[in-house]
Amino acid sequence: MKGAFYTGMYRNLFKEFGYDEKEIEQKIDDAYKTIFYGSPDERLYHEVGSDMAYFVDTGNNDARTEGMSYAMMMCVQRDWKKEFDKLWKWSKTYMWMESGENAGYFAWSVSTDGKKNSYGPAPDGEEYFAMALFFAWKRWGDGEGIFEYSREARDILRECVHKGENGKPGNPMWEPSNKLIKFIPDCDFTDPSYHLPHFYELFALWADVEDREFWRQAAKSSREYLRKACHPVTGLAPEYAHYDGAPYCKDNRERYYSDSYRVPANIGLDYAWFEEDEWQSECADNIQRFFCETVKGKIDMIYEIDGTIINEKALHPVAIIATNAQASLASKGNYQKECVDLFWNTPLRKGDRRYYDNCLYMFSLLALSGNFKIWK
């Protein structure tokens, strides 16, 4: 096996493509400082009192489990324990649900003053919370109470798998019959960008012992699923899809749009960490060929997954550039460097819609520099 999980070696594609190591480190440092401690019109991180903080979705003026868990992952990768703990305490204080059908899950959207906007969860938040907490445990060791990171992570995953069993209310976040993550717990379809087999491989090591085989199967199932969901020519995945991989054709969710952009990034990171599936290289090549050759010069549009251009601008164009570059971790084609160079020369996004773009920007920056690591 050649993946970083086995070798401990993380590729620095920026360095491989000729960028100076000091400039790479400076670029990462500048991005962190901007996102966490920049000016009010740049930052996403906001402290509350002396021991809590939230990460704001600037397009919707709320805090989401997606963003809170993403920010925690950014912090553990950078060894920022203070910020990590503040984000986690805010999440447990205001997002975690103690009662009702979704007790044990986190409310996916909460206003910045701590009021829940919804009492429904979003599985992508839970899986990132769990992974960030496990990495915190491995990097810093367990603390007490909610800072006993490994226990908190196991508690989250136990709910995700077993919710609703034995006549209790609620629904699990993974469909028991096929081990595929759901879009939301009480639905029968999924979101391809939620599929993180590289996380499930690690959950299979650290979750409750009785659930470890489930997570091994989930990793296998998700890799097989992505083959079905991604178009065989373009490599593009829809925002939502059925369990057989067919696009979910309601509310325009069959298109390559915002959520979809995470798929090439996830494929790249899974390949970098585990290198389990050579199809991932083929898919990454297809995606990069589509953007660099087929629609060159029009990479900020909305597309059908077969590549048809919809005459409408993408809501998150910087995210497209960032995740196309991260796909280079799996790609073996001719467009790796072109995608990485374009990303390198693209600045962080500004304005009200900067949140999602800049989260994916940061993950791509970490991954391509060899700094999105497995802590074990």
Strand-strand pairing, 109-111 and 180-181: unpaired
Question: Count of CB atoms within 10 A of residue 136's CB?
Answer: 26
For the sheet containing 255-256, what is the strand order? Answer: 255-256, 301-304, 309-313
Q: 57, 62, 66, 201: which one is catalytic? A: 66
Catalytic residue flag (residue 213): no
Looking at residue 342, its amino acid is L
Catalytic residue flag (residue 66): yes
Q: 124, 126, 175, 259: which one is catalytic? A: 259
Question: How many Cα atoms occupy the beta-carbon half-sphere of 246 within 13 Å?
Answer: 5
Strand partners, 241: 190, 247
How far, in whole angstroms, is CA 336 from its chain's centroid? 21
φ, ψ of residue 349 to 5 degrees: the values are -75, 150
Give me the residue label for tokens 């059925």: 242
Structure tokens at 169: 């209310």
CA distance linking residue 361 with residue 323, whole number of Å: 8
Structure tokens at 271: 């390949």
Q: Residue 166 in contact with residue 188, Cβ under 8 Å? A: no
Strand partners, 54: 46
CA distance linking residue 164 with residue 102, whole number of Å: 10
Structure tokens at 159: 């709910």
Residues noted as catalytic: 66, 259
